[in-house]
Every structure is written in structure tokens, then in C-alpha cells.
Amino acid sequence: DECFFLADPDDPFARTEATLTLRRALSVLDEREKQAVYYKYFMDQTVRDIAVFTGQSKSAVQRTIDRAEQKMKTFLTDGGTKG
């Protein structure tokens, strides 16, 4: 499970909750933001690699990642509610 680092790996309930929380946080992102986050954190790609793959500049990719991280942080600190 990709969310093992968010919860005790020996606690299947905590892992399930972490997975659901991450999915809800990702749901607030637009497709470009999801793609950038996926490649950076799940595929372990550099900003440069993502830029090459997506045809964007490195600075545009970094802004997209920064915006996505801020959106997810806000979502999570607001208790996981949209809007």
C-alpha cells in the first residue's frame, strides 16, 4: 500500500484510514496537480524529469507542485472538508 509511511505498517486499520485520507486530499487537486504530485512522490521523479515529460518548464512544474501541496495541506488542516 502506497500510504504505509502515513501509519503504523502493522496496523491495517490505520493504513486503510491513511489511504482514504490521502485519496480525499488528492481529490481537491486538478488533473495537472495530481499528475505532478504522482510523478514526484509516487514515481520519485525530479522536477526536471516531470518538466520534460509534461512539456512544461521546471518553474511551472515547481509552482504546480507547490500549489498542490498547499491545497492538500489546507484540506487536511481544515479537517478534510472541501470548500
Radius of gyration of the chain from its Cα atoms, rounded to whole angstroms? 14
Q: Are 68 and 37 in contact (CB under 8 A)?
A: yes
Alpha carbon separation from 65 to 14, 23, 55, 80 (Å, rounded): 27, 17, 15, 19
Residue whose C-alpha is closest to residue 29's, from 77, 60, 68, 64: 68
Band of pLDDT at residue 29, cut at 50, 70 and 90: very high
Q: Is the pLDDT of residue 83 over 50?
A: no
Question: Over 50: is that where the pLDDT of 2 sits?
Answer: no
CB neighbour class for 40 (10 Å; exposed up to 12, middle 13-18, buried from 19) = buried
* 2 vs 76, more confident: 76
